A and B are shown apart, each in its own frame.
Chain A
Amino acid sequence: MENVVPNTVEADPPAEVVTKAPEAVLDKPVIDLDGLSVTFGNRPILKELRGDLRGRAIGLLGPNGAGKTTLIHTLLGFHSPSSGTAHIFGRDIRSHAKQIRTQIGYMPERDSFIANMTCVHFVRLMGELSGLPSEAALERAHEALFYVGLGEARYRQLGTYSLGMKQLAKLAQAIVHGPRLIFLDEPTNGLDPPARARMIELIRQIRDSGKAHILLSSHLLRDVEECCEEILIIKSGRIAVYCNLEEERKSNRKFLELETRGERDAFADAIAKLGCEYALTSERRLKLILQDGVEIRDLYRIADEHQVQIRRLNFKRDSLEDIFLKAMEDGNGVDPKAAGVSYAAQANLPGKGNP
């Protein structure tokens, strides 16, 4: 039996608090980026990132080379910030890296294993390295492997696992010590549809448990859309968008797309006189933003007056893809705090005023 000491993650809420009232921890930022910059040689990778990330599941998006993985690695202490810093659960990553890593689970993107080990041995070792006593680590290794669905295969050598099983094993090692924040770097890479669905389901279960926050880095928008409540889009090392997906969608409820037949120009002019901005997107289609006080029936009335038929009317709700593409087109990586706008507001900037 190894010598053990009480869990010394002082200043953090005890695990029981997290268990009983997970909502309470959502008030505080999980990750606070405070002008975080990272430079490799003379090449800046992350530039002055600022913001408070608070969500239970945050999707980290961006094109290849945008700096997603570098951000995760910097938060884990693999790279030193060239300037600025970040705080995780209120602790500075520069000065409290070890204490922070006690509460973090990390599932790397690439295959990462220790050779010549059975899966349960591997996960147990990872648990022990996280500070769990030997017996507790073994017990939790079994539990974690059953949880991810590798219970029956836990005594097999890792080398004999399929790609999907390896991904699940990586998830098991990331959660074996019960972290409060889990970094998942491309967790569905290379998975077939059933394995992907299984992985997504597990991530959602962890998210819904309310006992851990998740930062999910992926280039697969569908994965992020299915798992995450908030998204952080990085472009060229800067934050292009940080927003709550659901609020973003709600904010677009007045964004309409119409398909019409008839004299459309006069109809559009009449709409403009109501104060609605519009754009003609094709011969029969137009997009518009309803102003406050303007109702749908006003549109039908105007259409009737101009003898225009409204064949189709859709509330155009932004998909994650729309948000992402807008960010890629327009997001110049402006520091939102410095610009005096909220992230959500910034996320709405492109496209809304000019549909």
Chain B
Amino acid sequence: MAVYEHAYKPYAGPLTPEWSRFLIIPRHAYRDVFRSKLFTGFFALCFVCPLVMAILIYLHHNLTAMAIFQINLRDLAPINAFFFQVYIGIQTGLAFLLTVLIGPPLISRDLANNALPLYLCRPFSRAEYVIGKMSVLMILISAITWVPGALLFLFQSYLEGAGWFANNFWIAVAVFVDSWTWIALLALLSVTISAWVKWRLAASAALFGLFIISNAIGITVNNVLRTKWGSLFNLTVIMKTIEDGLFRNPNSMSLPQWMILSTIAAWIALALFCAFCLFLLTRKVRAYEVVS
């Protein structure tokens, strides 16, 4: 089918491995995403916190620099689990905003343009399509959460020594697991809302609303029924409980004792919530909707 031949010709060359094809979606999506100066600026802003954290770690280990800036070691926050929990708290907040910016049109635009048959008529499954769309967010959120978090941890380990690394390796695990919990939740939530809400503004509002409304429902149920199980509807509390469990910092939200969820209950609630999102996705992500 060469231009000069002007004849139909089959393709006889090599094919890419099947497992890697879902990555085609984020690669093409980023061209569109980074065309927006607003988003590019915001994405750059997401690296300010890791940079500040790196400077703090550096100052902890450089007495000359502290002397120059006239900083006392006691004034600096200690580099411990809480330091990394604060870092993850800030970065996941930014990850949420990033999701609000690029998540809503991910699937809704394809649905509006009837593009799903074009994806699914190829050797490309529905699962690969969803994973491909989720990975648009997963890669970007990874880049601002656990990847810099791991670098900060390694930087601190390098400056502090192998002993600190061995004793605090669980912090790196906590950073990684907590980041991925947020990544999975935000990506899944975003593509689910995108599949069901076609209007971008409404989808963004739904993302915000889900956290606010679930929070309101959880608090109301807890207060009316004087129980802690209402928190199972509260996404913020669920995520915070999981985070507290990972960073061994119980009740960082300072909730009343009777409202505190167990970590296992929070994990189960999160799993159920994700399963519900997947169920909704399977209902919507189809080449054609069949009306029985």
Identify the A interface with B (CB < 8 A): 2-8, 14-16, 18-19, 40-43, 73, 76-79, 98-99, 101-102, 104, 106, 108, 110-116, 121, 125-126, 128-133, 136, 140, 142-144, 146-147, 151, 173, 175, 177-180, 205-206, 209, 211-212
Contact = CB atoms under 8 A, between A and B. Distances in A.
Majority SS of interface residues in chain B? loop
Contacts of B41: none
A133 B14 contact: yes
B121 A115 contact: no
A205 B24 CA distance: 31
Interface string B53-81: 00000000000000000000000000000
A77 B121 CA distance: 8
Contacts of B291: 40
27 contacts: A2-B20, A3-B20, A7-B14, A16-B12, A19-B12, A98-B18, A114-B113, A115-B109, A115-B110, A115-B112, A115-B113, A116-B109, A128-B21, A128-B24, A129-B21, A130-B122, A131-B15, A133-B15, A136-B11, A136-B13, A147-B3, A173-B118, A178-B12, A205-B7, A205-B8, A209-B7, A211-B9
Nearest to B291: A40
B125 interface: yes
Q: Sorted from nearest, which 7 A-B pairs have the closest CB atoms?
A: A41-B292, A15-B12, A178-B11, A178-B10, A131-B15, A106-B121, A78-B287
Nearest to A39: B292
B13 A7 contact: yes
Contact of B117 (A78, A129, A133, A146): A78
Interface residues of B, number: 43
Most buried by A among B3, B14, B17: B14
Given A112-B115, A147-B1, A212 B13 contact: no
B115 A131 contact: no
Contacts of B37: none
A142 B1 CA distance: 10
B8 A211 contact: yes
A151 B118 contact: no
Given A73-B288, A79-B290, A7 B15 contact: yes
A177 B28 contact: no
Contacts of A180: 10
A3 B17 contact: yes
B181 to A, nearest CB: 30
Interface in B5-64: 6-18, 20-21, 24, 28, 31-32
Interface string B122-141: 11110000000000000000
Contacts of B287: 73, 76, 78
B1 A129 contact: no
Nearest to B121: A106
B290 A7 contact: no
A172 B140 CA distance: 32
Nearest to B2: A143
A112 B120 CA distance: 12
Contacts of A111: 113-114
Most buried by B among A116, A143, A180: A143
Given A125-B24, A131-B21, A147 B8 contact: yes
Contact of A43 (B10, B119, B123, B292): B292
A98 B15 contact: no
B12 A130 contact: no
